[in-house]
Chains A and B, each alone.
Chain A
Amino acid sequence: MTMHKTLHAAATAAAAAATLLLAACGESPSAELPMPAPPPAASNEVPSSATASTLSWGQYAASLAKTETGLPLEVNKLVPPTSETELPLPVI
């Protein structure tokens, strides 16, 4: 996820830079330069490592950042781990 975010940010920055440069020249960016390739589609599946234990599940769920534009995760096949005896994880 971190690598993906980095790539996405880099691509976005590159596109923004190109747009600014072209705009400064009075040109339409799409008319002169192809748009940079979109970042690879983010996987919207929960990684299997997240369901290995209640600990990893809690850590994964807590790591999900709020997003205004991202797609929701696909969870139909997901079986989250549960526990009747463990204490909940501390959340800061």
Chain B
Amino acid sequence: MHSRHFRLAPVASAAANVAAAAALLACSGLAQASSHREAPFITTSPKVDASDFYMFSSYEAGRAGYVSLIANYQPLQDAYGGPNYFAMDPNALYEIHIDNNGDAKEDLSFQFRFSNTLANAGNGISLPIGGKNVAIPLVQAGAVANVKDGSLNLAESYSVTLVRGDRRTGTTSMVTNTAGGSASFDKPVDHIGVKTIPDYAGYAAKHVYNVNVPGCAMPARLFVGQRQDPFAVNLGTIFDLVNAPVSVITNPALINAVPNTLGDKNVTTLALELHKSCLKNGDQGDDVIGGWTTASLRQSRLLNPSPPSGHQVAEKPGGAWVQVSRLGMPLVNEVVVGLKDKDKFNASQPKGDGQFIDYVTHPTLPALLEIALGLPGIAPTNFPRNDLVTTFLTGIAGVNKPANVVGAEMLRLNTAIPAVPFAMQNRLGIVGNILAGGSDNAGYPNGRRPKDDVVDISLVAVMGGLCVANGNANALGFGLDCNPSKVPLGATAFALHDAVDQAVVPLLAGFPYLNTPIPGSK
């Protein structure tokens, strides 16, 4: 208890810093979905487009001490997108990385590799038609209810490799099923519709695995499959020069005035839940861990002008892996990094983030908001924006800053701060908690929970809310230059929102937390 109290005190003050930093970061992301189609190249490869990354202390009852890692891919899925739906790319490498000593380099990488196989030894399900057996054109030949269901024409499976050390040259081992020891796991088919899969929630639940992670004493949980997109944002309005009255987006009574534009979309989720002792650098290691997700493709690909029969056989990939997607903190590549460097950012590693520093110290988003809202002179004037640097690149001292931090962009979580039950979570994360005088220090930017409204937090931060909270005495440690006099909006910065409430998005009470996907047919 003493230890907890010792930590919470700095957390309370640091929470404001974190919140402010988070808000700033979110601000830059304010104008967009977290990372949906955020860079030019990734729009051409939706199967490897990371949309959101979550990392939080598990708040499911009975899971104290566990950390949930959730990486979402393939954004903006329309549920009716058959007949092929949204299988993952078997020619891609999806990864979740953990830095557990603050040096901006991955210490643990969980690598997901997919295999999509047609039934009947690769020939697919056939039906007898006029004396001939002819392959069917759909991914299912009847209702589906079970793992490896016989009605499935396409089997989607995957493996998870744990790499300790460098993600390409480190020591590898396989994650295995506690029941039987297999290193191959099944992914549920997407939610085709309620006639094909009457009980999708029950069907998907059969694909949640208890797994053994080599080197980890505590069993983990694993799920990969389609989910309802948990991200909520007023997307079209934001990108249309914030096409909403200022009186609306500064009115706290209107935080949920308009529908979530992503409310009818699905994503594909990679979810892991591990005990924090499996993620930290030993028992005495730093409680703060950093996390991010990446996806890579083979460097070369020759398209086959005469593909053989089979599934996804129209390309011949070769060469080394090339990273094409990167996501840690939400909204960074969306609204912080300049358009000319978005592909570069997606190919980069945290250890090289110095090349992007100007986008954080001198962000363009506040100035863009001045233009969009027709309100010149409302952008904060504290340069360099150390409040944002703290939030994005180092973490907040006393909250989520590693002891030996190397500045780099990633989501950082203090695993020693206990989880808060869903109903008690502040939708504005640490910033909201500071404003409310509460005790929820487990939210963004101390990690990120599905309920955290990172868009609103970011708006507050980018427009100087953190510096208002920092006051004239540098209460939150953002620097003396980060003070209310540098924030033209003053306390109004805390009232900013996008009129879509993240906190009302439907979620599950426990792992994998994200809601059952929307069906292709109701």
Binding site for B on A (CB under 8 A): 46, 51, 54, 57-58, 61-62, 71-76, 78, 80-89
Binding site for A on B (CB under 8 A): 168-169, 298-300, 302-308, 316-322
A-B contact pairs, 6 of them (CB 8 A): A54-B318, A58-B299, A62-B300, A78-B302, A85-B169, A89-B319
Q: Are B318 and A61 in contact (CB under 8 A)?
A: yes
Cα of A67 to Cα of B319 in the assembled complex, Å: 23
Cα of A85 to Cα of B93 in the assembled complex, Å: 13
What is the minimal beta-carbon distance from A14 to any residue of chain B, in angstroms?
30
What is the minimal beta-carbon distance from A91 to any residue of chain B, in angstroms?
8
Name the one of B169, B302, B304, B319 contacting A82, with C-beta atoms under 8 angstroms.
B319
Q: Are A87 and B319 in contact (CB under 8 A)?
A: no
- Chain B residues near A75: list those with CB within 8 A: 302, 304-305, 316
- Chain A residues near B320: list those with CB within 8 A: 54, 58, 82-83, 86-89
Which B residue's beta carbon lies closest to that of A53? Answer: B319
A72-B300 in contact given A82-B317, A84-B168 (Cβ < 8 Å): no
What is the minimal beta-carbon distance from A81 to any residue of chain B, in angstroms?
6
- Chain A residues near B305: list those with CB within 8 A: 71-75
- Chain A residues near B169: list those with CB within 8 A: 85
Q: Are A88 and B306 in contact (CB under 8 A)?
A: no
Q: Are A80 and B318 in contact (CB under 8 A)?
A: yes
- Chain A residues near B303: list those with CB within 8 A: 72
Q: Are B300 and A80 in contact (CB under 8 A)?
A: yes
A81-B168 in contact given A75-B302, A76-B304, A76-B306 (Cβ < 8 Å): no
**Closest 3 A-B residue pairs measured CB to CB?**
A80-B318, A61-B300, A72-B305
Q: Are B316 and A54 in contact (CB under 8 A)?
A: no
Name the one of A72, A82, A87 contacting B298, with C-beta atoms under 8 angstroms.
A82
Name the one of B304, B308, B316, B322 contacting A88, with C-beta atoms under 8 angstroms.
B322
- Chain B residues near A72: list those with CB within 8 A: 303, 305
Q: Are B300 and A57 in contact (CB under 8 A)?
A: yes
- Chain A residues near B168: list those with CB within 8 A: 84-87
Cα of A82 to Cα of B315 in the assembled complex, Å: 14
Known: A58-B300, A87-B168. 15 other contacts (CB 8 A): A57-B319, A61-B302, A72-B303, A72-B305, A76-B308, A80-B298, A80-B317, A82-B298, A82-B319, A83-B320, A84-B168, A84-B321, A85-B169, A86-B168, A89-B299
Cα of A85 to Cα of B168 in the assembled complex, Å: 5
Cα of A76 to Cα of B169 in the assembled complex, Å: 31
Cα of A58 to Cα of B169 in the assembled complex, Å: 20
Which A residue's beta carbon lies closest to that of B303? Answer: A72
Q: Are B322 and A82 in contact (CB under 8 A)?
A: no
Cα of A58 to Cα of B307 in the assembled complex, Å: 22
Q: Are B318 and A82 in contact (CB under 8 A)?
A: yes
Interface centre among A58, A62, A73, A75 (most CB of B within 10 A): A75
- Chain A residues near B299: list those with CB within 8 A: 54, 58, 61, 88-89
Cα of A46 to Cα of B316 in the assembled complex, Å: 12
What is the minimal beta-carbon distance from B225 to any residue of chain A, in angstroms?
25
- Chain A residues near B298: list those with CB within 8 A: 80, 82
- Chain B residues near A71: list those with CB within 8 A: 305
Cα of A69 to Cα of B168 in the assembled complex, Å: 39
- Chain A residues near B304: list those with CB within 8 A: 75-76
